Amino acid sequence: MAILNKIRQRSLILILVIALALFAFVIQGVIDNPNAFSDTQGVVATVNGTDIERNDFQQKVKNYQDRAGGRITSTQAMNAIYNEEVRKIIMDGEYEALGLDVEKDEMRDLLKNSLQSYPEFQDENGNFDANRLNAFIANLKDLNGETAPLGNSLVNYESWAIYEDNIAAGAIQQSYYNMIRAGIGTTIAEAEDEYMADAKNVDIRFVQIPYTTVADSLVEVTSADVKAYMKDHEDKFQADANREVIYVEFKEEASAADEEAFKAELIKLKTNITEYNESSGNYDTIPGFDTADNIEEFINSNSDINYNDTFLRAAQLPATAKDSLMNLNVGEYFGPYKDGEYFKLSKMIAKEQMPDTVNVRHILIPFIGGQRADASVTKTPEEAKKTADSILAKIKSGTKFMDLIELSSDKVSNENDGEIEFAYNAGMAPEFKEFSFENNVGDVDVVGTSFGYHVIEILEQKSMNDTYKIATLARKIEPSDQTLQDVFNKMSKFEIAAKDGDFQELAKERELTVKPITFKELDENMPGLGSQRQVVRWAFDETTDVGDYKNFPISGFGFIVAKLVEKNEEGLMSVENASITAAGDIRREKKAKMIRERITGSTIDEIAKNQSQPVKTAAALTLKNTTLAGAGTEPKVIGAAFGLEQGKASKPIDGEKGVYIIEVTKVTEATPIDNYTAIVNRLNTTLRNTVQSKVYQALEKAAEIEDNRAKTVY
């Protein structure tokens, strides 16, 4: 009792101590991660003051991925929805500022244009009936979320409302861009310039002194040069934040010992196996590949690839073993051999001469639920089979096939008397194909497919070739548990050694390839490894410092050990990084100056002689074509040619490939035309076709966008 009293007396102190400890924990969390309680955690982005909320965004991403059916990554889905949401906010702001909206009467007209072909909204004469549309919408409201049929779809009131919103949005967008298109156009002067740029031409003589005539070793590019160049071309050297990472791979691949084990497994399956049966107390003999009566059952029970009971052409055989397989006699084996991800043991089951092309005719009796069966089909599979059997009986009793062709639902082939000609690799129903190729001319029978039941008669078989029926045992090549453990141990030892050793040297000692990669904050892919957002997130984590390293498991691959080697924040590139692209331009500028300084002579011929370069010619140059024959793309040179008088030589021109001196030898003036309307119309069409993309690009560039994706959903 005394102890309990002391606890009660000191309970306030205990509560205070616990509270202070919790407070300290929370404060430390804020210090370690300043964004932990930021308002942006629930906001994916803010566009012109409007938030894209995280929960709504993630639901849209999920819906998008569901519609894509697993064909895209989560990051791709997020990027797509992000772009949609940003575009919607930007454009909605424009529409609101201009007062663009869709009124009720206009909405009815839009719905009429969109839905007038639907029988549900047509009167007895096939005309659109607004009353039927109104009744349909009212009925959807009364269904309280339940669906109603519309065409080949089922809709409820919520999906209908989304449909109306999409139609309205499309109409508003069209009005917006139409207003802009109405305000742009081409002047006669612009059309005349366009015409002249193509019609006027000049012939020139020129000397090109290539930059390669100055050795790179004679041109020094310093850090000061790069800094000065960056200052003059800041736009070229603006960069997003990025992280430079190096990594080594540890692949979980089957070892040589694993592969030998797979081969031994396949060979063992050739012979019978004796096993003790605990139930009977006797030893049972399990047939092997040599003696198995039911090959299909044996293959499907023992192979990672099911049995293929069809005859194969030479082109369908595995390329790695084609010649060996074709030379097998019936009953002979080839293998084990490696084919892609599998080790295989193949046995020749049969060889036949079979056609490459067949011509058949058929009568199709479809059933409810069959592929491409329309609403008029009422027969069950059993009834369809019974009808097909009765047609076959009539044909066999003497009725001509053609007299029954109207019973077929295949209207396309009916136009050709039910005939179809196709090759063995055509995309036909497998049962239809098997009967047509593996039976004889004149054979007729009922064949069931996913489309229904066919009465098929083989009319002709062409281009007979050798075909092969081969039974193949296959084992997928996978690393053993021991190999997986060895890979993990190798990775772990490297990671431990990297704590105190040099990453590059350690990799070299272990014959591992060090691979570099640079990430931006929203990147996800690594070459050969696919989406690896985990690595990007780690590289951009505030707690990851340059020199830190970490291992990452890679699904279906193994592991990598990555090391962060550089952090580059948003803004102007570092001089070191900028020099990669700037050095070439700087070196070219310096070479151009050196070349200009050594040029002597007042005529092209004199300059060509003292520079040991030939005089070249180019004819019919136009302003619209920047390619200089014998030199490449040289816009400055061609532009200068149109500013020279005939017979005059230019000053040295710093081009793309060298320094040029040119002389205009002939000017062919354009023949004036009386009417530029056709050119005006063509330019107007080009301008108006680019309005939508160019306007949005400008609006997006001008928008205030705070992108929090990397912190909220990636």
Q: What is the pLDDT of residue 439?
A: 92
Say how far apart CA 146 and CA 156 lie, in whole Å: 6
Q: Averaged over 534-561, what is the pLDDT?
A: 94
Residue 360 has pLDDT above 80, yes or no: yes
Say how far apart CA 94 and CA 71 lie, in whole Å: 34
CATH class of residue range 201-214+577-668: alpha beta
Q: Averaged over 609-625, what is the pLDDT?
A: 94
- Confidence band (pLDDT; 50, 70, 90) for 265? very high
Q: Averaged over 508-533, what is the pLDDT?
A: 92
List pLDDT tens digits, range 168-218: 999 999 999 999 988 889 999 999 999 999 899 999 999 999 999 999 999
The end-to-end CA distance of the chain, in Å, is 57
Residue 26 has pLDDT above 80, yes or no: no
Tokens at 247, concatenated:
């990594």
Q: What is the pLDDT of residue 426?
A: 86
Residue 38 has pLDDT above 60, yes or no: no
Say how far apart CA 535 and CA 523 lie, in whole Å: 10
Fold of 295-476: Chitinase A; domain 3 (3.10.50)
Q: Alpha carbon 294 to chain centroid distance? A: 44
Q: What is the pLDDT of residue 41?
A: 64
In this structure, the dihedral spanned by the alpha carbons of residues 362, 367, 373 and 378, taken in order and rounded to 10 degrees, is: 120
List pLDDT tens digits, range 216-242: 999 999 999 999 999 999 989 988 899
Residue 163 has pLDDT above 70, yes or no: yes
Q: Which of 159-168, 370-379, 650-659 has the highest mean pLDDT?
A: 650-659
List pLDDT tens digits, range 450-491: 999 999 999 999 988 899 999 999 999 999 999 999 999 999
Q: What is the mean pLDDT of the chain?
A: 89
Q: What is the pLDDT of residue 94?
A: 93
Find out whether 211 and 631 touch, Cβ atoms under 8 Å.
no
Say how far apart CA 115 and CA 334 lie, in whole Å: 63
CB atoms within 10 A of CB 444: 17
Q: Averaged over 657-678, what is the pLDDT?
A: 93
Tokens at 343, concatenated:
């080790």
Q: What is the pLDDT of residue 5?
A: 42
Find out whether 562 and 246 touch, Cβ atoms under 8 Å.
yes
Say how far apart CA 420 and CA 423 lie, in whole Å: 10
- Residues near 371 by Cβ (< 8 Å), separated by ≥ 6? 450, 451
Tokens at 650, concatenated:
């230019």
Per domain, the residue ranges of the chain are 1-32, 100-182, 201-214+577-668, 242-253+480-569, 295-476
Beta strand 530-531 with 525-526 is: antiparallel
Q: What is the pLDDT of residue 35?
A: 45
Burial of 708 (0-12, 13-18, 19+ CB in 10 A): buried
Residue 10 has pLDDT above 80, yes or no: no
Residue 7 has pLDDT above 50, yes or no: no
* Count of positions (residues) in the chain: 714
Burial of 248 (0-12, 13-18, 19+ CB in 10 A): buried
CATH of domain 242-253+480-569: 3.10.50
- Confidence band (pLDDT; 50, 70, 90) for 295? very high
Residue 714 has pLDDT above 80, yes or no: no
- Concatenated DSSP letters for 510-568? TT---EEEEEETT--EETTTEE-HHHHHHHH-TT--TT-EEEEEETTTEEEEEEEEEEE
